[in-house]
């Protein structure tokens, strides 16, 4: 009976997985909805002192800060090799399937690493090179179409290279060239033809990955420009509203680099970035009216590591200097800072099954953390020692496994509880 039940459950899982792919299930940057919160169950609630069990590891994937994208049948990851950005596919047990060059690396010799996390949608993998080559790759490693949208729209490449991970919405691939021709563009996922263009705001784009938010069937794409947070109607590219985010930082000095994907919850948007900037929670509307400021907080300013909303609290890190930062918890409702504390260094943060995973960027310490509005509550930790460069890639959790990247190295650990 138990064997029969297991076979039945496996069959149901495969059917559901097939339906999700058929309906355009999207995999990629920071998991479901780009929230950093992974829908997993049955995970370890504590780790051995040496860390979770290592399942497999691989090197030679190319240098990069991008994360792995894990689907039902493969693992995809980008990296730079020589003058090219490369997409590599692995089987679930770590065997290399194929590798394909898809574009040119950024022309900034000091930061050539790949930054684009692949986006998988309905059998297609979308990637962007450091110089703006948007490529659609098939599951067998063939490029079905490619367009350099920075050249097409005469856009200026950012100082540290293009960091965009494409967003797929209703069979459209969304990217943001910026400049004086188009703020945002939608390409047909089947052939690369332009579907719509959002009018220009005559300013450069940023390092932010666009975010899809939805209310009562209305789909809006949110992203940063150099001055604004904008909301674009997903159906036709119409600019619905813009919020002057730079004005929130009139009391702050420093660069205006926007890197983090904003958080969205129940009609509110939270945006926070490093370089001494002030974070803000704003109320957005789906009728085209202008957003309004709810609160701002200069203490939460994550550099490259993202943020998550768990319950009523935002967990993230601070950008004290380029080489130093702390961890922070802020109340979602009031904007009050609950705590700021040191733990090695700043870094990336994700969540699964109600727990936090933090990966500090200097020495590769990775911790399992209990969400707590009173303190940083470390349960277990271990250190990733292989690879090179800053530990900037965000971890990924999928099917009870933890995917951790460091430079041209990737390690996969088992998180399954026995």
Q: Where are the domains of the chain?
A: 66-161+189-196
pLDDT per position as a tens digit, 316-341: 999 999 999 999 999 999 999 999 99
Question: If you write DSSP's letter for every residue of 276-318 in order, what string do you get?
Answer: TPPEEEEE--SSSPPPEEEEEESS---SSS--EEETTEEEEE-
pLDDT score of 300: 97
In this structure, are residues 277 and 254 in contact, taking their beta carbons and an 8 Å threshold?
yes
In the predicted model, is pLDDT for residue 246 greater than 50?
yes
In this structure, are residues 275 and 257 in contact, taking their beta carbons and an 8 Å threshold?
yes
In this structure, are residues 271 and 227 in contact, taking their beta carbons and an 8 Å threshold?
no
d(CA 365, CA 342): 13
Share of the chain above pLDDT 90, in %: 87
In the predicted model, is pLDDT for residue 37 greater than 60?
yes
| Residue 418 pLDDT level (bands cut at 50, 70, 90) | confident
Average pLDDT over residues 188-215: 96
In the predicted model, is pLDDT for residue 9 greater than 60?
no
pLDDT score of 252: 59
d(CA 115, CA 323): 19
CATH of 66-161+189-196 given 2.60.40.1890, 2.40.110.10, 2.40.10.480, 3.30.720.210? 2.40.10.480
pLDDT per position as a tens digit, 350-409: 999 999 999 999 999 999 999 999 999 999 999 999 999 999 999 999 999 999 999 999
Average pLDDT over residues 31-38: 97
Of 397, 414, 417, 322, nearest to 75 by C-alpha is: 397
- Structure tokens of 210? 């666009």
| Residue 190 pLDDT level (bands cut at 50, 70, 90) | very high
pLDDT per position as a tens digit, 66-93: 999 999 999 999 999 999 999 999 999 9
Average pLDDT over residues 150-157: 96
Any idea which residue has 């047990």 for tokens? 93
pLDDT score of 249: 79
d(CA 411, CA 198): 40
d(CA 324, CA 303): 10
d(CA 227, CA 206): 10
* Average model confidence (pLDDT) across the chain: 93
pLDDT score of 256: 76
Of 223, 246, 136, nearest to 177 by C-alpha is: 223
- For the ranges 200-214, 250-264, 361-375, which has the lowest average pLDDT? 250-264
**Predicted TM-score of the model (pTM):** 0.93
- Structure tokens of 118? 């692949």
Question: If you write DSSP's letter for every residue of 131-159 in order, what string do you get?
Answer: T-EEEEEETTS-EEEEEEHHHHTTPPPPT
| Residue 253 pLDDT level (bands cut at 50, 70, 90) | low
61-83: b (≥16 Cβ within 10 Å) or e = bbbbbbbbbbbbebbbbbbbbee
- Structure tokens of 399? 């099917």
């Amino acid at each position: 009976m138990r064997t029969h039940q297991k076979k039945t459950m496996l069959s149901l899982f495969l059917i559901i997985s097939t339906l999700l792919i058929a309906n355009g299930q999207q995999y990629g940057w920071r998991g479901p909805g780009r929230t950093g919160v992974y829908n997993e169950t049955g995970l370890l609630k504590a780790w051995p002192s040496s860390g979770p069990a290592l399942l497999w590891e691989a090197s030679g994937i190319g240098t990069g800060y991008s994360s792995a994208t894990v689907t039902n049948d493969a693992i995809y990851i980008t990296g730079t090799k020589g003058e090219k950005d490369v997409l590599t596919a692995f089987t679930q047990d770590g065997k290399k399937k194929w590798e394909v060059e898809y574009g040119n690396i950024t022309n900034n010799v000091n930061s050539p690493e790949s930054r684009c996390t692949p986006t998988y949608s309905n059998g297609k993998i979308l990637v962007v090179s450091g110089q703006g080559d948007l490529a659609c790759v098939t599951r067998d490693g063939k490029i079905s179409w490619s367009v350099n949208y920075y050249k097409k729209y005469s856009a200026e490449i950012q100082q540290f290279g293009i960091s965009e991970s494409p967003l797929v919405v209703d069979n459209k691939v969304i990217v943001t060239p910026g400049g004086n021709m188009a703020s945002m563009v939608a390409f047909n996922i089947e052939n690369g033809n332009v579907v719509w263009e959002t009018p220009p705001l005559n300013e450069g784009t940023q390092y932010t990955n666009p975010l899809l938010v939805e209310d009562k069937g209305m789909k809006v794409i949110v992203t940063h420009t150099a001055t604004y947070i904008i909301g674009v109607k997903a159906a036709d590219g119409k600019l619905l509203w813009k919020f002057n985010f730079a004005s929130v930082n009139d009391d702050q000095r420093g660069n205006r680099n926007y890197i983090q994907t904003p958080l969205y919850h129940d009609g509110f948007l939270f945006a926070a970035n490093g370089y001494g900037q002030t974070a803000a929670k704003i109320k957005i509307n789906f009728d085209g009216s202008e957003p309004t400021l709810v609160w701002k907080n200069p203490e939460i300013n994550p550099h490259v590591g993202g943020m998550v909303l768990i319950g009523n609290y935002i967990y993230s890190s601070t950008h004290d200097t380029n080489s130093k930062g702390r961890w922070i918890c802020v109340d979602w409702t009031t904007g009050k800072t609950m705590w700021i504390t040191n733990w090695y260094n700043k870094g990336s943060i994700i969540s699964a099954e109600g727990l936090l995973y933090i990966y500090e960027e200097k020495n590769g310490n990775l911790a399992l953390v209990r969400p707590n509005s009173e303190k940083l509550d470390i349960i277990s930790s271990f250190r990733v020692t292989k690879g090179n460069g800053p530990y900037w890639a965000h971890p990924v959790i999928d099917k009870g496994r933890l995917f951790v990247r460091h430079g041209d190295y990737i390690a996969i650990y088992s998180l399954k509880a026995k």
